[in-house]
Chain A
Amino acid sequence: MNDDKTIEAVEKEIVEDFSLFDSWDDKYEYIIDLGKKLQPLEVEYKNDDNKVRGCQSTVYLAADYKDGKVFYKAESYAMIVKGLISMLIRVLSGNTPDEIIEAKLDFIKQIGMTTHLAQTRSNGLLAMLKQMKNYALAYKIKNETLIKQS
């Protein structure tokens, strides 16, 4: 998705996009728009294994591993959550497991969406993020085991 851009570079782009908005309504309109544009997840991915625990609104998250990079796809029934997911996918997808695990994701704070990161927040951006990093970690371990075996 972001073949030639680093995580930080994409984060910077998003922060710049958000700097154009001067009201919260505009910010949310933009996030909702991202949510509407997020490609729907294929039915076969919508199963219990892909459900993110800790989200009150159902969120499905799946990951693929290709050429040393992790690619995500996801869906939620809540539009704002979908928009937030869309941003996370834009930032993290197409990077190596190490890059994803190390990512600090300061952009969330910089665009003023930290309230969505609260532990108990029902939309569980934090739970989603944790799951994305878990996928990266799983692929990293799998990869290292394969290298050791060969």
Chain B
Amino acid sequence: MTETVTIQKKLDAYSIRKQFPVLNRKVKGKPLIYLDNAATSQKPQMVIDALINYYSNNNANIHRGIHTLAEEATQAFEDTRDAVQQFINAESREQIIFTRGTTEGINLVAYTWGRQNIKAGDEIIISVMEHHSNIVPWQILCEQNGAILKIIPVNDQGELLMDEYEKLLSPKTKLVSIVHVSNSLGTINPVKQIINAAHKIGAIVFVDGAQSAVHLDIDVQDMDCDFFAFSAHKLYGPTGVGILYGKKHLLESMPPFQGGGEMIKEVTFEKTTYNELPYKFEAGTPNIADTIAFKTALDFIHQIGKEKMRRHEKELLAYATEQLELIPGLKIIGKAREKISVVSFVIDGLHPQDIGTLLDNRGIAVRTGYHCTQPLMNRFGISGTVRASFAVYNTKEEIDELVLGLQKAIKMLS
């Protein structure tokens, strides 16, 4: 087995890059080096073509029309649902709900399942490394229903303290909502272990897959999560499309999130009956074009293969870590043993924002600041980091440019 793995052909980032038109552009007169992939990935030509093709040849509203265009658009839209079902190995296509993004998926569950099931004195467990979007919806719910938010701490490497987590679990725990992969640190959390422990005491688990879906193999049945949410735009797909997966009995028991067209079966002024899954949660005309193009993004991922992508990104992470650590005064924040291709760092005496501005001046796009994880930054006693995050099209040469850019920035700022 090991042999077949080692002889597998390596991914050719240079030819993959050619599929991404934006990577040909220049910024401040220099070739763009895009290292902000954890925020959003760039889009390959085939995804852009799918969008153009939809509007050029198919545009119609879906599900209700009987004309050819409507039927074709409906088919393409529902094809994406099937592709997503396969992508995360969901039990059925009805369990795939289209949303605007991960954030909407979390809010949907907080407003429906949460309002129905969370009572005064109940406890919700999240971790200190959550994105604000996996903190605030639960805070709102706790304020409204009198529940209590409990926080799993992390160690200095940026790994969850699992002993502390187990101590937080109690009969009062109704929900654990946990990020699969940290957007600020890159840490991969042991979600199976977290889910298993929560289920033992009868709590359900929401997994925020915004960062994990593009890097890891997702099998929601094997993971046994109750909800899983992610966003298309971080998987080489268009913005404005998200996926919420839920266990069937939970989705069926939940009240609708929004009222409108599409989500109803019958409407009279006396009583309205709701549509079946997944349409119960998809009120109004959805983001048809972007949802259809998302299937093409999944095709792109399949064509290369997630395993190959992962090996390439792992190589980039190792190389970047090694090269960055050679820079005097640079400290990497988040050194978990299990990490995806994200490197967050600070440099002694320098403000991340200055570094970001000077890197942009050399065409290098990184992210600086809190990364929407203010509590986590407080935990590490810092006001922000510089974050470089790598995708399938990034190369070692780009990391060399990053290092050169940082050395130049340090020289200019000291």
Within the complex, which residue of B361, B383, B384 is in contact with A25, where a contact is CB–CB below 8 Å? B361
- In angstroms, Cα B359 to Cα A24, docked, is 11
In residues 49-86 of chain A, which contact B (Cβ within 8 Å)?
Answer: 56-58, 77-81
The residue from A25, A28, A79 contacting B351, defined by CB atoms under 8 A apart = A79
Return chain A residues, CB-CB under 8 Å to B354: 32, 78-81
Kindly state the separation between the CA atoms of A79 and B358 in the bound complex, as whole angstroms. 11
Bitwise, B383-414 to A at CB < 8 A (1) or not (0) is: 11000000000000000000000001000110
- Interface membership of A106, Cβ < 8 A: no
Q: Is the CB of B353 within 8 A of A24?
A: no
Q: Is B369 in the interface zone, CB < 8 Å from A?
A: yes
B28 located at the interface, meaning its Cβ lies under 8 Å from any Cβ of chain A in the complex: yes
Taking the complex as formed, is B287 at the interface, i.e. its CB lies under 8 A from any CB of chain A?
A: no
Q: Given A24-B28, A25-B361, A122-B369, does the pair A56, B412 have CB atoms closer than 8 Å?
A: no
Indicate if B357 sits at the interface (CB-CB under 8 A): yes
How many angstroms between the C-alpha atoms of A79 and B28 in the bound complex? 20
In the assembled complex, the Cα of A77 lies from the Cα of B350 at a distance in Å of: 9
- Residue pairs across A and B with CB atoms within 8 Å: the count is 42
Question: In the complex the two chains form, is B369's CB within 8 Å of A80's CB?
Answer: no
In the complex, chain A residues whose CB is within 8 Å of the CB of B350: 79
Please indicate which of the listed interface residues B350, B357, B361, B412 has the most CB atoms of chain A within 10 Å of its own CB: B357
A127 to B88, CA, bound (A): 44
Interface positions of B from 344 to 399, Cβ below 8 Å from A = 350-351, 353-354, 357-358, 361, 368-370, 383-384
Is there a chain B Cβ closer than 8 Å to A13's Cβ?
no
B-chain residues with CB within 8 Å of residue A77 when the two chains form the complex: 351, 383
**B361 with A24: CB separation less than 8 A:** yes
Asked whether, in the complex, the Cβ of A28 is within 8 Å of the Cβ of B353, the reply is no
A29 within 8 A of B: yes
Distance between B169 CB and nearest chain A CB, rounded to angstroms: 36
Cβ of B412 and Cβ of A123 under 8 Å apart?
A: no
Measured in the bound complex, the distance between the Cα atoms of B358 and A24 in whole Å is: 9
Given the known inter-chain contacts A78-B353, A78-B354, A79-B351, please indicate yes or no for A122 contacting B368, CB distance below 8 A. Answer: yes
Q: Cβ of A123 and Cβ of B357 under 8 Å apart?
A: yes
Q: Of A24, A25, A32, which is within 8 A of B413 by CB?
A: A32
Q: Shortest distance in angstroms between A138's beta carbon and chain B's nearest beta carbon?
A: 28
A78-B386 Cα distance, complex, nearest whole Å: 13
Q: Which B residue's beta carbon lies closest to that of A36?
A: B413
**B351 and A56 contacting across the interface, CB-CB below 8 Å:** no
From A25, A32, A81, contact of B353 by CB (8 A): A81
Q: Which residues of A contact B408 (CB under 8 A)?
A: 25
Cβ–Cβ contact A56 & B384, under 8 A:
yes
Cα distance A68–B357 in the bound complex, in angstroms: 37
- The residue that A32 contacts in the complex, of B383, B384, B412, with Cβ under 8 A, is B412
CB distance from B384 to the nearest CB of A (A): 7
Q: How far is the CA of A79 from the CA of B361 in the complex (A)?
A: 15
Report yes or no: B357 in contact with A28, Cβ–Cβ below 8 A.
yes
Q: A57 contacts B351, CB within 8 Å?
A: yes
Within 8 A of A (CB), among B312-361: 350-351, 353-354, 357-358, 361
Contacts of B361 in A (CB 8 A): 24-25, 28
Complex Cα distance, B29 from A32, in Å, reads: 21
- State whether B412 touches A25 (Cβ < 8 A): yes
Collect the chain B residues with CB atoms within 8 Å of residue A28's CB: 357-358, 361, 412
Counting chain A CB atoms within 10 Å of each CB, the highest count among B353, B368, B369 belongs to B353
A37 → chain B closest CB, angstroms: 14
Complex interface: chain B residues within 8 A of A79 (CB): 350-351, 354, 413
Residue of B351, B353, B412 touching A29 (CB-CB under 8 A): B412
- Nearest-neighbour CB distance to chain B for A147, whole angstroms, equals 43
CB of B364, distance to nearest CB on chain A (Å)? 13
Q: For B383, list chain A residues within 8 Å (CB).
A: 57-58, 77
CA distance A81 to B356 in the complex (A): 12
Minimum C-beta distance from B347 to chain A (A): 12
* Residue of B whose beta carbon sits closest to that of A76: B351
**Assembly CA distance A124 to B353 (angstroms):** 11
5 chain-A/chain-B pairs, Cβ below 8 angstroms: A28-B358, A28-B361, A32-B412, A78-B351, A80-B353
A interface residues, Cβ below 8 angstroms from B: 24-25, 28-29, 32, 56-58, 77-81, 122-123
8 further interface pairs, Cβ-Cβ under 8 Å (given A28-B357, A81-B354, A122-B369): A24-B29, A24-B361, A28-B358, A56-B384, A57-B351, A57-B383, A58-B383, A79-B351
